[in-house]
Structure 1
Amino acid sequence: FHIELPMSLSDLVRLCGFRAAASPIHCRASSPPHSLPPAPVDGLDESLLADDLGAMELELRHRDAYLRSLGSPSAETVARSTLVTDSQVDQIMASEGPLDRLKDLYALNEDNEPSYELASVMLVSMATFTYLNVRYTVQERRLAGVSFEERNKLTVFASKQQASRRKMDYITMRALRLGLKRSASSLIFAPLFLGGAQCISAVRGRSSPLDFLPSGIAAGACVRGAHGLQPMLGGAFLGGFLGAVVGTVVYGIQMYCGLTYEEMRRYRLTERSERDARLMAKLSAAREQA
């Protein structure tokens, strides 16, 4: 018994390998991996991606050549010309005076947004005021009930509802009034404490752990100055102690996060110089094309 095949065994193997490669799922399930070529992986074709990148690079070269033919600088030349080196930033920082740094400390940027220092002073002041207001309001609300009962022991009310209403009104108004009164001092202490330290850093041109010490003394003395000489001295001592502790912690965080005054100032000057250079490059290119 003999059967003749229309093709040889090697041709049959190649044909099976071609079909298995065309359908990779059957290739992995039915045939050993060493007898068939590896199945193609679905995804981006590297040859097509290389062709696209080459076409994009060629298009950029043609565009730069066209700009050079018109007398305009290429995109690469403009990008290099707008970069600011560290030496240039050092020269700008060396030419600045204390008044220049103070004027730029709380100035608005190009988008009319507050600076980092001004925003931090506003946020810290409002957060401190809100916390103390809530704390003192709750504290005074507890004491106001006892005060109302002591002051109205001999008072005769028309009804129980009237007594309850008078008590709630007294507690609410007394708690709000004393809470605002006791927390209003934070609106003086927080801006002087934080803003004074920032001004000292701006005048010196660098951050230091002792920047909060004089600002804490001044803020504590101003807050307690209306109560007499002895409370003013006590407030200055407590403010100085708080400034020494907070200054050390804040300076450590600034050094770890790279947020010291000199680093923030260098970043701000670099960004401003590069933005001005890009603007001048665009203006010069527009004038040349016109």
Structure 2
Amino acid sequence: MISIQNQIVLITGASSGIGAACARILADAGAKLILAARRQERLQQLAAELDNKSADIHLLQLDVRDRLAVESAISNLPPEWSDIDILINNAGLSRGLDKLHEGDTQDWDEMIDTNIKGLLYLTRYVVPGMVKRNRGHVVNIGSIAGHQIYPKGNVYCGTKAAVKAISEGLKQDLLGTPIRVTSVDPGMVETEFSQVRFHGDSDRAQQVYQGVTPLTPDDVADVIFFCVTRPTHVNINEVILMPVDQASVTMVNRRTEN
């Protein structure tokens, strides 16, 4: 296990869910955190919480879909924050659950622009610095949906399959450097994911996890922490994790209460 104390970690989608859980576990380990998300107020709340742990934090209000904003944010980081050691491409979402021929094209654009293009933009503007400094680690948050397709998951599954391919391609492109690339691909995790997918329909979102003990954001963050603290010659290429109640994207054990 290597120490990540004082390493600079950039986390996208840091205002909630897996991103916020990563911030907490990495702050406990002494990392310096660049927390990026669209929701400034949520970022400030998280920063206030982490301040109690004496964490060193820099906030970025950022929409990863905006290439120029990403380029500007990375190129204009203060010098003391510019040498990013770990990039966690966590920002992502699902919108809708429709048959492909009945899908909402705005939902498609939002998923493609966030899950694929946003990840590409951050990687494009952060990784050259890693190559120059001859150190670094990129962690992409994929999904079991990138390995298995489920009915009405069409475009979302396509975006996560792209994350899988991009992660593998980046690993090949960085061969010969010490930079590591990891894809962490969870199954069911209880976050705001379903709320976002169903455009704020809380009742429908709750049904997703009914009768199931899903993964928590902390469970996923714990796996990410394991990956980034392995000895420098070890690369965890890919991790698939699911709750015990899930065997595939379509096979879920739901317990009924008597």
Q: Same fold (TM over 0.5)?
A: no
Aligning the two structures, in what range does the TM-score lie when normalised by the shorter sequence? under 0.3
Give TM-score scaled by structure 2 length.
Answer: 0.22
Q: Which has the larger radius of gyration?
A: 1
Higher relative contact order (CA 8 A, sep 6+): 2
Larger helix proportion of the pair:
1
Give TM-score scaled by structure 1 length.
Answer: 0.20
